[in-house]
Each structure stands twice: as C-alpha cells, then as structure tokens.
Amino acid sequence: MTGGSPPTDAPRLVVIGAGIAGLAAAWEALRVPWGSEGTSPSVIVLESADVVGGKLQSVDFRGRQVDLAADAFLARRPEASQLVAELGWNDRLVAPGTSGASIYARGRLRAMPGDLVLGVPTRWWPLARSGLLSPTGLWHAAGDLWRRSPQRASVPAGSNDAAVGTLVASRLGSEVVDRLVDPLVGGIHAGGVTNLSAAATFPQLLAAASAPGSLMRALRPERAQNTPPSAPASPVFWSLESTTASLATRTAEALVAEGVVIETGATVTGIERVGGSWSLHLADGTRREADAVVVAVPAHPASRLLTGWAPEAAAYLGDMTTASVGVITVAFPDSVINKTLVGTGFLVPRTTHLTTGPALITGVTYLDRKWPTLARADETLVRISVGRAGDTRADDLDDEALLSRAISEFHEVLTTSGAPLETLVTRWSDAFPQYVPGHLTAVAAMESEVDALPGLALAGSAYRGVGIPACIGSGRMAARKLSESWGRRR
C-alpha cells in the first residue's frame, strides 16, 4: 500500500509490524508535533505478512465476513473507541446482540452467577445458586466473608505482585479458581492463573487482596478503587459492523490516504545504529534508514531485533512464555443444534474431564447470537476455541483430528449430535504472551533501557495488556515518546 510522497525534510519514522499496535503508532505519529517546527514525519510501516492487521483478520465464511481472532473490544477502556471516532466510524459500532455466558461444571452448563469481577464472586448467594461449586467449595468461599485480617499468603511481604490464582485460592478456595477465575481471566490471556501476574492482568484484585477482611466485599463495585460506576445502558464490548478486524484495515487505509507507506511482505531481520540514526535490515537484503523506530512485533521477534541494543529487554522478551490457540469456525444445520442457546456461549474449565479425556476445548462462542448480523436462516454459526498456556495438545493434532475431537466435545457439552455444514480451522501460534508475576517491573526496566536509546520505542501485546485497546494505547504512547525525544534531540 503506497501513499503520496512524504516531505523530504521530515523525520523518518519506521514502524515494524502492521498489527493494531503498529498501525496505531503510525496514526499517532501523524497527530503529534515533531520538534519545535512541528513537522510531520515521513512514515513507513514494514509488515512481514502479506496483509495488515496482525491478529486482526477476517474471512468470508458462507457469504459473510467472520473474525478469525478478536471479535470484540472492551468498551470500558477508551483507546479503541477513540480510534474508531477519529476514523469517523462511530456509526459502525455494534454492540453484542445478547450477554451472559455459561460455564461447564459438575456435568452440565451452568449460567455464570451475577456480581462477578473478572470471575471472582463478590456475593455468596448468587454463587451458591449457580450450582458451579460443590458444597465443600461453597463452604470455603463462605469463609471469606467472616475473615477479618488478610491471609499471609495473599501478597508476599515486600512484593508488589502475586499470581491471580494464588490470591483467589488463599481467600476463596481452589474451586472458585478452577471453575470461575481460570476460565475467565485465564481465557482472556489463554493463560493459567496460577502463573498470571495480578498487577498486570487484574490490579483491582491485588488492591483488594492487600486490604484486611473479606476479598468478596473488597471487590464489590461500590467498594473497589478504580472501578468506574456501573452504566447498565452502555455495552461492555463493541465490534464494528463489518468485523472487529476492519478496525485494522480501516486504520491502514486512512494512513495510506495521509501519505504513509505500508510495505507488506517486508520482514525486518535486524536493526543497527549508524551515526545518529537507525538502519533496518530486511530479509530481501534491502535496508531502510530511520531517525525513529517503533518495534511493534510480538515478544520473540522483538527479542531478536533488540539483541545487541537492549540486551536486558531482549533476554526478557526472548524468555517470555507464549500460548498458542486455535479457533474453529463451524456452521451447523439448525436441526443439529435443536435447542435454544443461551447467552454468548460457554467456557470449559481446564480441569474438565469429558469422555474423550481432559477437555481440549476451552470455550464456545455462539457467533450468530452474539453478532446477529451473522445470522442466516436454517444454520447456527459457532466458534470453538482450543489451546491455552500449558496445554499444547492441539498443536500436535492435524486439522482433521483437531476438528473431530473439538466437535465431539462440543456435542458432549451441549448434548447435541450431528455433522457440520462447513468448518474452518485457524491456528494462532505464540499468540498470547504470558504475564508472569513481576511482569510490570520487568516492563518498566525494559522501557528505561530502550528509552535510553535515541529514537527507539516498543509497542504491542507483550507489554501492558493483550487486548486491542491496550495495544492501541501502547502504539500511540510509543509514537508520543519518539516525537518528544525527537524534539529534545533537535
């Protein structure tokens, strides 16, 4: 994709990676002043794939565009909605057609109780009525309400972080972790909450667990700090009329219209500091010169690019564990799904055993209930998800074996049977970086190491959030840092 000619005296910015973080960095770079003259930079985005968007991709599936990864973004965080507004696409925002989800527990699907904060119950009665926990599990959870002082195990002394699972288990018992918190928080990160940083993924929990008394009470919205007042009329999530992935393509089109050059099929293999600027080596043997560079690629490729320039950041990123996931889009004849599906779908806890063995599927989205524009007469469209940190079984199965296993488990949970009309398997390797306890401290150290290098900044899901709004925020922040440092360098 090529825009008009950039001005020749402008600072040269190269963004590596055309995922939503890189595209947002390029977008912001054109909106902030560079130096006292306020010149706009010339911007090139280099993307190794043949298409832009990174993990924001969609495909035509039986006559409608269907997202292949992210299908919504959080409305509570402002960054994605703000970008949509700046692109002039407010009238394309769509809210889910339904809400609520179920969890497979104790042999059947059970509606998630109300009053959850990221899977952590804040009231005991809705939890008891949900039937999710055994009597012993409920007894443990009830003990939290009588607690007057914090458990010593909750947040280790001298530490500013702990694993989400450890914090919740120590107060509410392991069943709450296994059946609610791991499916929900772990589901967002495709991770396991026993090794997921509370500071990075669930800061309200860390604050609540550090306070004396009951965790459930401390997390109630009216008590918890940083929790905005509830606004029942506004949706929790948004998508866009044409797909969530269209946020990336629309941003890319707008960038090109503003003169940004987007090169696809352009893999950066190394960066080098030459004099006062950067030289980028590409896989095809060519180079691009830049005054400023945003590295907006996932953790492992970022590690390779930073080796030699920011050794601590490169080491941390290189060692980061990632989870691979698979998304199976399936159309069934309505006659197969011969029951009313409730809510947006269901989650399957990792401790679930089905007749096939330990459950491989992690959740199911009722796509055409969640997004009614996808609905077609006589068929039901679903997405079956597989794969999470610590479970790589899906990677070892070929598409046919994976499909057969996933559909069999889907039918067992829903107590349905019958062949699909059409299926599509999409695999996302190393898609979710795992934020282990201490992650934010490591990110702060990486940022100060990289900030010391003139004209280099990091963006993307490896740092301060995997969701689309967080990635957009990180891209825009990277561009602002570079424009400010350019002003100082001048």
Ligand X SMILES: Cc1cc2nc3c(=O)[nH]c(=O)nc-3n(C[C@H](O)[C@H](O)[C@H](O)COP(=O)(O)OP(=O)(O)OC[C@H]3O[C@@H](n4cnc5c(N)ncnc54)[C@H](O)[C@@H]3O)c2cc1C
Identify which of residues 325 and 403 has a Cβ nearer to ligand X in the complex.
Answer: 325
If one asks whether residue 473 binds ligand X (CB under 6 A), the answer comes out as: no
Which positions from 372 through 411 interact with ligand X, judged by CB under 6 A?
A: none
How many residues bind ligand X (CB under 6 A)? The answer is 35
Could you say which of 34, 73, 124, 486 contacts ligand X (CB under 6 A)? Answer: 73
| CB nearer ligand X, residue 29 or residue 466 | 466
Tokens in use for 240?
A: 């866009």
Least gap, CB of 334 to ligand X (angstroms)? 26
The region of 47-55, 220-228, 341-349, 479-487 touching ligand X under the rule CB under 6 A is 47-55
Q: Please select the residue that binds ligand X; options are 47, 79, 379, 391, rule is CB under 6 A.
A: 47
227 — phi, psi (to 5°)? -100, 120
Name which of 38, 219, 55, 204 is nearest 121 in CA terms: 219
**Three-class SS state of 313:** helix
Q: Which of 49, 75, 95, 397 binds ligand X (CB under 6 A)?
A: 49
CB under 6 A: which stretch of 32-40, 329-337, 345-353, 467-475 binds ligand X? 467-475
CB closer to ligand X out of 73 and 104: 73
Dihedral, CA atoms, 369, 375, 379, 382, nearest 10 degrees?
Answer: -50
Per CB under 6 A, the list member of 1, 10, 69, 224 interacting with ligand X is 69
Q: Which is nearer to ligand X, 77 or 147 (CB)?
A: 77
Residue from 11, 41, 43, 54 in contact with ligand X (CB under 6 A) = 54
Q: Cβ contacts of residue 398 below 8 Å, gap of 6+?
A: none
Chosen residue from 101, 466, 477, 479 binding ligand X by CB under 6 A: 466
User: Could you say which of 130, 362, 434, 461 contacts ligand X (CB under 6 A)?
Assistant: 461
Rounded CA-CA distance 269/392 in Å is 28
Q: Whole-number minimum distance, CB 383 to ligand X, in Å? A: 9
C-alpha 318/C-alpha 114 separation (Å) is: 40
The DSSP annotation for 118-171 comes to: TTEES-HHHHHHHT-S-HHHHHHHHHGGG--S--TTSS-TT-S--BHHHHHHHH
Nearest distance in Å: CB 12, ligand X: 17
Query: 134 burial class (0-12, 13-18, 19+ CB within 10 angstroms)?
Result: middle
- From residue 432, alpha-carbon distances to 130, 293, 300, 402, 428 in Å are 30, 24, 11, 20, 9
Q: With binding defined as CB under 6 A, does residue 291 bind ligand X?
A: no
Q: How far is CA 53 from CA 83, 139, 190, 294, 412, in A?
A: 15, 47, 20, 16, 35
Name the burial class of residue 155, with classes exposed (0-12), middle (13-18) and buried (19+) by CB atoms within 10 angstroms of its CB.
Answer: buried
Q: Which of 40, 48, 303, 423 binds ligand X (CB under 6 A)?
A: 48
Q: What x-and-dash track marks residues 9-38 binding ligand X by CB under 6 A? A: -------xxxxxxx----------------
Interatomic CA distance for residues 204 and 226, integer angstroms: 7
Q: Which of 423, 467, 479, 486 binds ligand X (CB under 6 A)?
A: 467
For ligand X, the closer CB: 71 or 409: 71
Q: Which residues of 313-326 are buried (b: 16+ CB within 10 A; e: fewer)?
A: bbebbeebebbbbb
Site for ligand X in 427-446 (CB under 6 A): 428, 431
Q: How far apart are CA 209 and CA 178, in angstroms?
A: 18
**Distance in Å, CB of 238 to ligand X, minimum:** 10
Nearest to 292 by CA among 281, 307, 277: 277
Site for ligand X contains 268 (CB under 6 A): yes
Residues 319-378 that bind ligand X (CB under 6 A): 325, 327
The site for ligand X (CB under 6 A) is made up of 16-22, 46-49, 54-56, 69-73, 267-268, 296-298, 301, 325, 327, 428, 431, 460-461, 466-468, 471
